[in-house]
Amino acid sequence: MTETPDANQADGGPSLDGYMQQHQIQPFVQEMLTELFAVLPEDPYEYMTYHLASRRPVRAPQDQKLISSGVLWALIPGGDPMSPEQWRLRRCWLTEKGILCVSNSAAEVARDDAGGVVVSPLEDSATQEYPLEKGATHRELDEAEAARPFAFQVAVKPGPLAHRADKEQDGGRWVLQLAASSEDQRNEWFNLFAPFSQAAVLPSMAPPTDLPAVTEE
């Protein structure tokens, strides 16, 4: 018997909306269809098979103790945050040690001798690791800083654990720019960061540093 979303929710499982947000299913399919209709390939199903295989976020590792795992939009290294095309859906997870991980693994897709599509196992590419140690901060990004809605930034101090993969550096700290599918999902991640990272305000909300001194008469 197939369980319905309502049955799963009644048993304490995720709701349909929560499930779709956690895995970013709607934006993933929307991105695929946008590309499909722009290219208009001869075989649309082969094109979608390629897209699903090469772009799908990987599963979270099963050999680590995780606090949470989900799919978020991540800005590609060196990318322009104001360009929607330079964001990719990536599997992200937070370990019990407060290390935020982003996987860039992708599958290889090729044709076989019969003209079919062959999907190889996911490549074991290096995972980006951002230890939320002392000095780490996270904050929202406004519409002037990122093209994607519900975007946010995580900044960590380079340390003994922050050595894998290429990272964007700003002011001596490693910076990671991500985007959620909703404000609720972004807030959920902020709640997960709270024990390890300090929340910061938007630059436009920060008080000026050159305020005149107040003297009592």
Lowest mean pLDDT among 48-62, 81-95, 103-117, 156-170: 156-170
> Total domain count for the chain?
1
Backbone angles phi, psi at 80, to 5 degrees: -90, 115
Examine residue 145 and state whether it is found in any structural domain, yes or no: yes
Examine residue 215 and state whether it is found in any structural domain, yes or no: no
- Indicate the average pLDDT of the chain: 75
User: In the prediction, which pLDDT does 217 show?
Assistant: 40
The dihedral sign for the CA sequence 161, 166, 167, 173: positive
Q: Above pLDDT 90, what percent of the chain? A: 20
Examine residue 15 and state whether it is found in any structural domain, yes or no: yes
Examine residue 211 and state whether it is found in any structural domain, yes or no: no
Average pLDDT (26-53) is 83
Helices (H), 117-179: none
pLDDT band at residue 205, thresholds of 50, 70 and 90? very low
Domain range for residue 54? Answer: 5-201
- CATH number, domain of 127, equals 2.30.29.30
Examine residue 194 and state whether it is found in any structural domain, yes or no: yes
User: In the prediction, which pLDDT does 46 show?
Assistant: 82
Coil, helix or strand at residue 45 = helix
pTM (predicted TM-score):
0.66
Average pLDDT (104-119) is 66
Examine residue 167 and state whether it is found in any structural domain, yes or no: yes
Examine residue 149 and state whether it is found in any structural domain, yes or no: yes
In the predicted structure, residue 41 carries a pLDDT above the cut 70: yes
Examine residue 51 and state whether it is found in any structural domain, yes or no: yes
What is the C-alpha separation between 103 and 3, in angstroms, rounded?
Answer: 30
DSSP class of 78: T
Nearest to 83 by CA among 148, 154, 143, 176: 148
User: In the prediction, which pLDDT does 133 show?
Assistant: 79
What is the C-alpha separation between 93 and 183, in angstroms, rounded?
Answer: 18
